Structure 1
Amino acid sequence: MRDPLSERSTAVQIARRLPTVLAAAAALTLFGPGIAHADPGPLYNSAQDNFTDGDAPAGLADLRQLLSESPDDAQALALQAIWSDYTGDLITREVALNRLNGVDRELADDTRNTFRAIGAAVGTLPNPIPAIAGPATGIAVLGYGLLPDGSMRPELVNRLQAAWLQAIASPMSPILVTGGNPQNGITEAAAMQGWLIGHGIPANRIIADHRAGSTVQNALFGADMLRRAGATSAIVVTSPNHVRRAVADFIVAGIPVVGATTSLEQLVSQLPPPAKSNQRGIYLDATRTMLLPVGR
């Protein structure tokens, strides 16, 4: 025998839940079932590989596809802004930067700083004349590959001669020598440190970074060491064909560059600012110094 009270209770429950059921059905009709986005990692990695290989348009195409599926991917947005700037697509640069600003404000600020660093680097003129600076400005001397027996190549000696002049002109400045890549048990930093001490620079002025294996690491490790030595800015010392990349990397790493002293080789040929197509190494290094992952 049916229970009228039970049937009525069931009908009431169904009536109460009907709006929820209808809403769910409508949502399913409008949007379809939930679809998991593909892993953005392969597209990100492909983009980075293309940028490394010099194919910026292909890298940007990878990022467009990635961002169509994962529009809030902050690292991809930062890369899109930077490489769109490189290719001259200022509209895409600004759209990506504005989107990034809403997703990750800190990374957006870092990206803007990278634009400033690249601009400062491109505008840097190689200059063999040392600058005059005080103790709050460090002198950052970048290494160059040693010979297999651990001795220095002529280009590194030329950098050290420029560094010696800079050290004499700024006698209170701490001196950072940065470079790992040991040969015969000797790092670039150790070889540079020995040369400077042998030419009369007091050992207590010299800070040695024996770890760096690239210009990016010169800047990342060196910026931290300079700050711990009390320096809030730096004069970069390297070769004319290397100075712009070094300037960009140190600025991105958080150390303002107030001077760039260079050796004399290739000085005249490196005086004109590089064409956009020749700035790829500056852009590539800057993204690495920002710690945007090469792969993920």
Structure 2
Amino acid sequence: MHVFGTDIHIVTFCFIVIEAVFFVYQFFYYLYWPKDQNRKYYLILLFLLIVKNLAMGLFPDPQYTSIPMVIQYAFTYAAGFIMASYFPYYFYRSYNLEGLRFHATYGVVLFLYTPFTLIFTTEYLFTSDIDSAIAHGLVIPAAYSLVLAYVMYKSMQKAFRKELDNREYFEVVGVYCSVVPFVAIAFFPNIAQVTEAIITNLGFTILTILFIRRSVLQARLDKAKLLALSKLKIGTPLHGIDPTIDLDQQIFEANISMFNLTPREKEVVGLVRLGKTNKSIGEYLQISDRTVSKHIENIFQKTEVNSRTELMRRIMQKQEE
């Protein structure tokens, strides 16, 4: 069943509508907080998927006589390749998978765009057989997708080492399951539209669940930080602090101003006290992990400690010394 007299199947159309509504919803959230880089990367990926779904549904179609078939094929595969090439970049940026840096920047150009363009163009010029040219042009990109899947697996092992050690597999498994459908598609150049729509959008659905989960966890972190900072009255004497705040909080508030920390360093200490990792702190403050590490190094020097445990002990015991 198709819609509006085009080749867009009703299943593909439903995915497009749902994703378009979700895109608008998330775009308004992004306008509210444009520093949310993860949401920006997600919106770009969602937009590229919508374009891919449209291209896959509309082309190639012989009824568009004004558009040569080779152009229709080119547009369809260009939409798919652009989305596929953005995928490693999305994970590299959103999940800080440093192992994907090369593939996110240069690898997709060298092993996706270049070989497909050369092989497809050469064969099509000599044979005028589009389907055969596409099938042969996808050989190297398909093989590269396996390499990319392996590199992502190794990068995830490193990035999620803490979660794996604690046997927290939800996000690790989810990320990998979201990638597998996109990798599989490369091996089936002539797959039916409905099947391709279900497979690719299934992968994106898993990715969306992970994105929403991360957003919820980030919102909880934001709330915890705001609550902590709302109680943090820097420079207020111990006896002048709200008695409803627990004793540890009172000591923390009274002592943190005694170490000549910058405002940013005080924010970092407040988040360290909440037990947040460098990655979590960086995501909230919109700074890199390296910058967080530098702030913590400066804090250690000013408080004359060598670890987070010593830092908290120093902060909490300063009044007693």
Normalising by the smaller structure, the TM-score range is under 0.3
Task: Considering fraction of residues, name the structure with more strand.
Answer: 1
**Structure of higher CA gyration radius:** 1
Greater RCO, CA 8 A, separation 6+: 1
TM-score, scaled relative to structure 1: 0.23
Task: Considering fraction of residues, name the structure with more helix.
Answer: 2
TM-score, scaled relative to structure 2: 0.22
